[in-house]
Chain A
Amino acid sequence: MRTSDYFRLAFSSLWQQRLRSILTIFAIVIGATSMTLMLSLVVGLKGFFLDQFNKNGQMRQVVVTQATDLNYFQAQRGGGANESGVKLTDKIYDNVAHETYVEGVAKTAGVYVLDAILFNNQTISVRGPQAYEPNGVIRHDPVAGRDLAPSDGEGVVTLTPAYADKMGFKGKYDQLVGQTITLRTNKSFTGQGATLARPGAQTEPTPTLLQAKVVGVVESTGNDFALYFPLDWARKLLEVRAYQGSASNPKLVSKSILEEQGYQTFVVLVDSTDNVKSVAESIKGMGLGAATAESFIDQQMAVFNIVSLVLAGIGAIALLVAAIGVVNTMLMAIMERTREIGVMRAVGARRTHIRRLFTLEAAILGGFGGIIGLGAGYGLIVLMNPYINKQLAANGILADNIIYLPLWLITAVMIVTIGIGMLAGLYPAHRAARMKPVDSLHYE
């Protein structure tokens, strides 16, 4: 028997019972659609998540901290100030910078002397003020304006969309760029710009107001609320200064907090992702904490994988139910077509022919379910993407159709649906083939 004839006969039988075929296919469509949708969702999000990391070179970063027990994100946010351990001094910086595979290092510091942003009669409390060397190691994607540049120093900041939203620039971040904001320090601030009490003078400490120009609204890599400073400026802000001596002969003494306490972190850029681990290991060898995104991403991927398993499981249950439908349909068809099977046997059909025919019919049901399910899934993705883009954009995340249908998923859905159809068809087909021609010919 020719292969084309198997298909001809199978299609003509399915067409003869088209209502039942359509209903059976419909059940498979539901399973295939949910499988397509859920897996492409997970795959899309996973890819998006990884892209976010790759884009800013975070996969190639090692965050060096004084504390040795922090994960990547905790380290990136500065972690807790630690008394024990190796202080992050300029000397340590040199050592780290001279490690093999290290392309660059950026020092960071928490600008904890700030209290609030004053803008247009609004007072917005400051969360997450961060200073870093804008030397290209740490990068933030600008939503508007630009990222901090190496030449930036005093009086320049960037901030995240969350702040811009609070300041009333939601959806028009461009207009914030170039504006000057006022930063209010806390009362004990003694860094550059502070009015220091003369010796002997009895003055209440007051906050200092600093002016800063917003050069860019940038995506954050950690917290939603982040205010970024060039390290050079922060260095001047993080000073303990006081007048000593007599009122007639005051003497200004100053002490750098960064020199005293060390930097918050060193962000190390490694030449390639392959060497991240070895760089982290040798930094750990110096008694420092070294966190990489890898371990964090591994954790995240483990979560993603569990989620995909659960979602795929839901799709699989839907497909299982559909498979039972296929078994039922095929058993019914075989009952109804017993005489027809008998006639086919009488005119020369072998058991194998009958078995293959019915298995093929079931596989075709599965295959159609798969094709339509993929189509429906794709349609839903196309409908969902603009909505997701909008939602993400509202949160200041630039995303372009993050959910998509990769080729491997298309292939997988087709293999699974056809496979399930075939599997479901095996038993009915076996029963059809097993019937004796005499019995099936006289079946009423």
Chain B
Amino acid sequence: MTPVISLQAVNKMYRMGDETLYALRDLNLTITQGEFVAIIGPSGSGKSTLANLIGGLDTPTSGTIVVEGRNIAKLRDRALSQYRNKHIGFIFQAFNLQGAKTALANVMLPLVFAGVSPRARKKRAEVCLTQVGLEDRTRHRPSELSGGQRQRVAIARALANEPNIIIADEPTGNLDTKHGAEIMDLLRSLNEQGITILMITHDMQIAKTADRIIEIRDGQLVQESSHANK
């Protein structure tokens, strides 16, 4: 199977006064195309750092992160922004929608930065909202939507530029069980369409829906387990 993400000897250090803290230490990891991977670990373990590095929101202190054939560890702002724009879809625990804008405008945002024409991006955003089952909520603002619906808008936004990889940071963290399950179903179906999904969670039940669970502790990979429930 082709590796879509490959991390080699990745270190991420923070300096706090005289102390040097390792968020990630000498980490190696390979994720293959189409995998659904859950990353678990206690808070402060480095799991979010790992997701941020793969998502291009942050750069490692050392090591290489090869995603779809290119090392993103050394990319400059312009290329890295384009990488986030075209290759990665982010889903956050707190949804991070723009409150004053409609669902449609929120979903269109990545397309704005991609320079897509207003007409084309509206069309694309409507497709994405339909894909997450919100075709009748396009003109609603986040405050007029339930938590589950808000997260779906966020997922639609993540899908806008047709990314190959979705990074979900505690996607069900702010949702009740029912809505959480719905979101997980949605992620599963996206995964079945071939999108690689990287999900950070501390909930073992949620993690179990993934193909593979990676546990991180003190910035290092401690355990991997695969599930055959696919």
Contacts and interface: CB of A to CB of B under 8 A. Distances in A.
Interface of A: 1-2, 4-5, 9, 12, 16, 339-340, 342-353, 436-438, 441
Contacts of B115: 1-2
Mostly, the A contact residues are: helix
Interface of B: 52, 55, 57-58, 77-78, 81-82, 84-86, 90, 92, 96, 98, 100-101, 109-110, 112-115, 117-118, 157, 160-161
A1 B130 CA distance: 25
B77 A16 contact: no
8 contacts: A339-B96, A345-B81, A346-B96, A347-B109, A350-B78, A350-B82, A436-B57, A441-B57
B96 A436 contact: no
A9 B112 contact: yes
Contacts of A342: 96
A347 B163 CA distance: 11
- Which has the most chain B C-beta neighbours within 10 Å: A342, A344, A436, A437? A437
A1 B113 contact: yes
B57 A348 contact: no
Contacts of B81: 345, 348-351, 353
A348 B98 contact: no
- Which has the most chain B C-beta neighbours within 10 Å: A343, A351, A352, A441? A343
Contact of B98 (A1, A5, A340): A340
A348 B90 contact: no
Contacts of A441: 57, 92, 96
A340 B97 CA distance: 8
Contacts of B55: 346
Nearest to A347: B110
Contact of A348 (B52, B92, B110): B110
A348 B83 CA distance: 7
Contacts of A2: 112, 115, 117
Given A348-B85, A349-B113, 13 more contacts: A2-B117, A346-B55, A347-B84, A347-B85, A347-B160, A348-B113, A348-B114, A348-B161, A350-B77, A351-B77, A438-B52, A438-B58, A441-B96
Nearest to A346: B90
Contacts of B157: 347
B100 A438 contact: no
Given A12-B101, A340-B98, A437-B57, A347 B90 contact: yes
